[in-house]
Each structure stands twice: as C-alpha cells, then as structure tokens.
Amino acid sequence: MKKKILENIKTLLYALVIALVIRSFLFQPFYIPSSSMEPNLLIGDRLFVSKYSYGFSKHSLPFSPNITKDRYFMKAPKRGDVVVFKTPADNRTDYIKRLVGLPGDYVQIINGDLYLNDKKILRTKLNQEFTINCGNEKIDVQGFNEVFPNGKEYTVVYRKEGSMKDTDKYFVPKEHYFFMGDNRDCSKDSRFLSSVGYVNINNLVGKARITFFSNDKDLGNLFKFWKWNKSIRFDRFFKKIK
C-alpha cells in the first residue's frame, strides 16, 4: 500500500514537472478579459501563446521570479505581431496588444491616421461596420484594414464620433517596443506613458497563436449547459490569430 502511494506521488510530480516545462517554454493558455483587441480578439476568447517565439526571460516562469535580468535565445518580434507582455507599471499584469513600433521608430496619429517614421500607414475603409464593447458600453465603430510596411494586414476599429484624432510623436527607445490595441479608442496601451508606455524587451511573454475556445459570458456561463448553443462561439475554435 505504501509503495503504491509513493508511486502515485511520483507520477503526480512527473506530471507537474512536464506541465511546468510546457507552460514555461512552449505554450501557455490565456484568457481575454477586455475589449481592447476587438474585433480580432473578443472578451471570453481563450488562446494559446507560444513562449519560445521571442526567447525567454524571468517572465517565462510562473510568478516571474527575480532570478535573472537577461533574455535568453532572443528572437526579435515582428511589427504586427499580437503579443502578450507584462506591463512596465508592475511587471506582473499580462496585457495583449499589437506590436506597432520597433526600437528607434517614431509613432504618431495625425488626423486619425497612423504614422510610422513620418510615413502614413496604408489604411482602407471597410464596408463592414462593427458594434463592439468599450467598458460597459456597446458602441458603433468604423472598421479599417491597415497594412504595415512589412505587408502585415489586420483590422482596426475607430469610433465614428469622438475618435482620437491626434497624438504626440512617440520615440521608441532602444530595447523597447510600442504596442496598440486594435480597438483604437478603447485600449490602454503604449500611448499612455504613465501606465503602459514603452515595453522593455524582457517584458515580452510570447506571441498569440491560436484561439482554442470562446464563450460569450453575457449569453451564459459554462455551467449553464442548456445555453451552450448561444454562448459558445464554435466558429472561433482553433482560429489562427492574425
């Protein structure tokens, strides 16, 4: 009996070690709690983030233990990547945004258009209109297709009225990155220097890869199985994140 208990404990420990390795160095699941990346990521989406995409730092490990200040096996992220990072304000909170500015870039919004290094990013108005979340509000927004110089395309939305038309010109420091939400008028991101600002390379956690599950909590939680046909977004299962 004692031997069997020890074997079960050993098996459990092995399983925990394997799970820790997978979570720290391969893939980690994340939950989307806010609307800052709508319409591309929705509240209630659950996704996998690849931890190896940009190398590893202390933030690759659970609870971000203060065991190193370096990044290992570093791979530079690409403009347009959807990235999970730790906010510079506390080095604890996970944010997910789109990478807009690389080290040495100038970033600015002028009359509603995004500029990188004083060149306007190609933006095409979509025929499709969206109703998206912004805090406790639901607002009508206009969708646009933006294209970065590297060819990366994605959809962004702006308020039809009261949109942020102009910003300061931001200069991205060495070894830092500038992030923005796709829901441009409802995102706390690098434009807010006091709370997010420029994100250090060591704060990068990983690249968002795929949505594996999604549930609209406004239509029912997972315990109300009789509402699954309305609340679970089956069309978002295993959807690649662009």
Tell me the catalytic residues: 36, 97
Sketch out the chain's domains with CATH numbers. Answer: 2-106+174-240 (2.10.109.10)
At residue 112, the pLDDT reads 87
Does residue 22 surpass a pLDDT of 90?
no
Q: What is the pLDDT of residues 92-131, one digit of tens each?
A: 899 999 999 999 999 999 988 999 999 999 999 998 878 8
Contacts by 230-239, CB closer than 8 A, 24 or more apart: 233/42, 233/44, 236/42, 236/45, 236/211, 237/211, 237/212, 237/213, 238/210, 238/211, 238/212, 239/210, 239/211
What was the pLDDT predicted at 157? Answer: 94
- What pTM, to 2 d.p., does this model score? 0.89
Residue 168 token pair? 């300061």
| Pairwise CA distance, residues 197 & 69, whole Å | 20
Confidence category of residue 199, pLDDT binned at 50, 70, 90: very high
- pLDDT: is 63 or 58 the higher one? 58
Given this model, what pLDDT does residue 160 score? 85
Q: Residues 83, 208: contact at Cβ < 8 Å?
A: yes
Measured CA to CA in angstroms, residue 229 lies from 39, 41, 96, 194, 239 at distances of: 21, 20, 28, 42, 18
The confidence score (pLDDT) of residue 225 equals 65
pLDDT one-digit tens code per residue, 188-197: 999 999 889 9
